[in-house]
A = this chain, B = another copy of it.
Amino acid sequence: MSLIVQKYGGTSMGSPERIREVARRIQRFVREGHQLVVVPSAMSGETNRLLALAKELNPDPGPRELDVIAATGEQVSIGLLSLALQALGVKAKSYTGWQVPIVTDDAFTKARILSIEEKHVRADLAAGNVAIVAGFQGIDARGNITTLGRGGSDTTGVAMAAALKADECQIYTDVDGVYTADPRIVPDARRLATITFEEMLEAASLGSKVLQIRSVEFAGKYKVKLRVLSSFTDVSSTDMGTLITFEEDESMEQAIISNVAHNRDEAKITVLGVPDRPGIAFSILGPVADANIDVDMIIQNASTEGLTDFSFTVHRNEFKRAMDILQNQVKGAIGAKGIVGDDRIAKVSIVGIGMRTHAGIASKMFGALAKEGINIQMISTSEIKTSVVVDEKYMELAVRVLHKTFELEKDPTEERMKA
């Protein structure tokens, strides 16, 4: 008997018929003798509907009240899923965030989980119940309702698994695992049976929408065995999706590069002709950070005649705000020659723990892109990934070229077996 946490996304909970499917899947695991904690998201579209209502009443809604409103989506889901299970004769009991309780900080709309009291849920599991815990929400120290931000239900699932020391946390979504690239761009993209935790973390931060990055961090911190599966396969399917592993095991599928990620949510800003003196990066990025705008890539060129160019990327939604700040608060203050921006860019990345031990991977990437005439605007590297910024119109081509270059369509396990 295992203790399994299952998280179901909004599309999995999208209609009464879909909720019944989820209930039947849970029933199968219960019949197999497992203890289950289930974390559903709000029905798809519900959170957007609620936020649209809020914005109609207040274009600049206060975050505390936004969370009061948004949290109802998951509260409806836990009730409905519990009822669907009861209709199948499966004992189930729902928990809101405050009923668990899942204690967070007070950063409304993007709160972080501080602690989880697991004793009530554990008592219900011992009594033979499936525990249905609302995703996305918590309670702060003063009793306010908080939410964890978009995709926060993934984090709830992983955090519950960590608190309960569950054997596995299964994330059911509308894709059946993690792929070597987006199959909509690369038709022969291959599903990975396993991916290392570090690769998953990079992939999530680079634009993979499969898992919320914070949930992956959480899984890493608490060593939660995490698996991504599809809730759209047949209920009795034994397909096991993609497992996120912690050990680099020789027996496991092991490619140098595991996947190609892409992201067109960013915009690039360059501050031209900046006097090259200490503290200049802070002078430029300080006001941007003060406005709560996250910066991703940062590049400063070598200086020529005491002047340098300073480039960075921000989320495309923040592009206009960031440009305004630079024009109005930064440009004059630091004596820059100009500010130029481009929101028609894309970031394409290769990810793989093999990069640690194999030289020349980055230059192979640059060579492949050059051969297709794709100009590289920015480069950023870490131990296990290399990202480039290119013109948005070349994004799909770049992803396909890199997938081909690193032969990701081939299953390395099979290759080894043939050898």
Contact B79 A68 (CB under 8 A): yes
Copies assembled: 2
Contact A83 B96 (CB under 8 A): no
Q: Which residues of the partner chain B approach A60 to less than 8 Å between Cβ atoms?
A: 87
How far, in angstroms, from A53 to B76 measured CA to CA in the complex?
Answer: 10
In the assembled complex, A19 has its CB within 8 A of some CB on chain B: yes
Contact B57 A20 (CB under 8 A): yes
In the assembled complex, A414 has its CB within 8 A of some CB on chain B: no
How far, in angstroms, from A79 to B76 measured CA to CA in the complex?
Answer: 16
Contact A53 B96 (CB under 8 A): no
0/1 per residue, A64-85, Cβ < 8 Å to B? 1110110110011011101110
A70 to chain B, nearest CB (A): 8
Main secondary structure on A side of the interface with B: helix
How far, in angstroms, from A162 to B145 measured CA to CA in the complex?
Answer: 27
Contact B58 A83 (CB under 8 A): yes
The count of residues in chain A whose C-beta lies closer than 8 Å to any C-beta of chain B is 38
Q: Which residues of the partner chain B approach A84 to less than 8 Å between Cβ atoms?
A: 57-58
How far, in angstroms, from A83 to B56 measured CA to CA in the complex?
Answer: 10
User: Known contacts A68-B79, A83-B62: does B16 contact A53 (CB below 8 Å)?
Assistant: yes
User: Known contacts A50-B76, A86-B62: does B56 contact A16 (CB below 8 Å)?
Assistant: yes
Contact B83 A16 (CB under 8 A): no
User: Known contacts A57-B20, A98-B98: does B62 contact A69 (CB below 8 Å)?
Assistant: no
Contact A62 B82 (CB under 8 A): yes
A142 to chain B, nearest CB (A): 10
CB closest residue in chain B, given A75: B72
In the assembled complex, A61 has its CB within 8 A of some CB on chain B: yes
Q: Which residues of the partner chain B approach A54 to less than 8 Å between Cβ atoms?
A: 79-80, 83
CB closest residue in chain B, given A92: B65
CB closest residue in chain B, given A83: B58
In the assembled complex, A35 has its CB within 8 A of some CB on chain B: no
User: Known contacts A53-B16, A86-B58: does B66 contact A79 (CB below 8 Å)?
Assistant: yes
Q: Can you sample 9 A-B contacts with CB below 8 Å?
A: A54-B83, A57-B80, A57-B83, A57-B87, A58-B83, A59-B87, A68-B82, A69-B80, A72-B75
